Amino acid sequence: MCNFLTPLRGVETYAVVVRMVLAFVCSALIGFERSAKNQPAGMRTHILVCMASTVAATCGIFLYLKLELVSDISRIASMVVTGLGFIGAGTIVVKQKTAIRGLTTAAGLWTTGIIGICIGAGFYELAVVGTFLVLLAETVFAKFALKIGLRPVYEFTVYYREKEALDEVMRYCKSRRMYIRRLRIHSFAEGESSQYVANINIRGNASPSQLLEAINSRPDIISAEYRKSEEG
């Protein structure tokens, strides 16, 4: 703990001003990164969330220390944590029932609110360190994640006669540690028999040509083709 910050841990006017300014700066830094990436919750949203959390935490301390009300000073902060979950949920978007966007922004909003509670409680050191680590996670680690590798997603269209044929294809993909992102199956009649077509989005270590060859070698597979998916 930094001793020179001790006078700023109370609820005097100058201490409250320092809290609000620090909440503004920390949340603006986090929100700027989100705005730069055109995320739904940008700088203004992060600032409002953090400052509201700071006000709530400071208010709880004020009621207990200055007004001497018999109350749990952590109750207001705990309600803030619950409310942040609803705000974060509004930034999560599900596209085409499989692709999910906004999770990082939602987590960032929730973390920003927690940082605001730390500032309101006078725990400035943790708030500053937390802000730095959030920025590190959202910038440096984001680039690192891209480098280590999400391979392209390929969409395979497989025509087959028997349902067991697709089961063999799925087992083959799982045995090669391939990730199946989406699977859609349609059936249609051809003469007196039924045929099936499966659209499979696959991400994995094998090359698409190798996987295509493996699929076509399976019994009851009529034909298969692939293309690079736009989601990849």
Model confidence band, residue 174 (pLDDT cutoffs 50, 70, 90)? confident
Look at 71-80, 111-120, 144-153 and tell me which has the smallest mean pLDDT. 144-153
Looking at the fold, whether 34 and 69 belong to one and the same domain comes out as yes
Looking at the fold, whether 125 and 221 belong to one and the same domain comes out as no
Looking at the fold, whether 103 and 13 belong to one and the same domain comes out as yes
Strand (E) or helix (H) holding 134: helix 124-138
Pairing of strands 179-190, 193-203: antiparallel
Residue 108 burial (CB < 10 Å; 0-12/13-18/19+)? buried
**pLDDT at residue 230 tops 70:** no
Looking at the fold, whether 163 and 140 belong to one and the same domain comes out as no
Query: In CATH, what number is assigned to the domain containing residue 180?
Result: 3.30.70.260
Looking at the fold, whether 110 and 11 belong to one and the same domain comes out as yes
Sequence-separated (6 or more) residues with CB below 8 Å from residue 30: 46, 50, 108, 111, 112, 131, 134, 135, 138
pLDDT (mean) for 51-78: 83
Model confidence band, residue 84 (pLDDT cutoffs 50, 70, 90)? confident
Per residue in 124-171, pLDDT (tens digit) is 999 999 999 999 988 887 766 555 555 677 888 988 888 788 888 888
Looking at the fold, whether 104 and 198 belong to one and the same domain comes out as no
* Whole-Å CA distances, 46 to 57, 134, 197, 216: 17, 13, 46, 52
Which residue range is the domain that position 194 belongs to?
A: 154-228
Pick the residue with more confidence: 65 or 99? 65
**pLDDT at residue 112 tops 60:** yes
Looking at the fold, whether 66 and 159 belong to one and the same domain comes out as no
pLDDT (mean) for 201-226: 82
Looking at the fold, whether 139 and 29 belong to one and the same domain comes out as yes
pLDDT (mean) for 1-19: 84
Looking at the fold, whether 85 and 169 belong to one and the same domain comes out as no
- Give pLDDT, residue 127: 94
Q: Is the pTM of this model over 0.75?
A: no
DSSP classification of residue 102: -
Distance from C-alpha of 105 to C-alpha of 39, rounded to nearest angstrom: 7
Look at 33-37, 98-102, 111-115, 160-164 and tell me which has the smallest mean pLDDT. 98-102
Count how many domains the chain has: 2
pLDDT (mean) for 51-74: 84
Domain end (from 90, 119, 148):
148
Is residue 102 left, alpha or beta, with left meaning phi > 0 and alpha meaning psi from -120 to 50?
A: left
Distance from C-alpha of 30 to C-alpha of 82, rounded to nearest angstrom: 21
- Give pLDDT, residue 116: 93
Model confidence band, residue 76 (pLDDT cutoffs 50, 70, 90)? confident
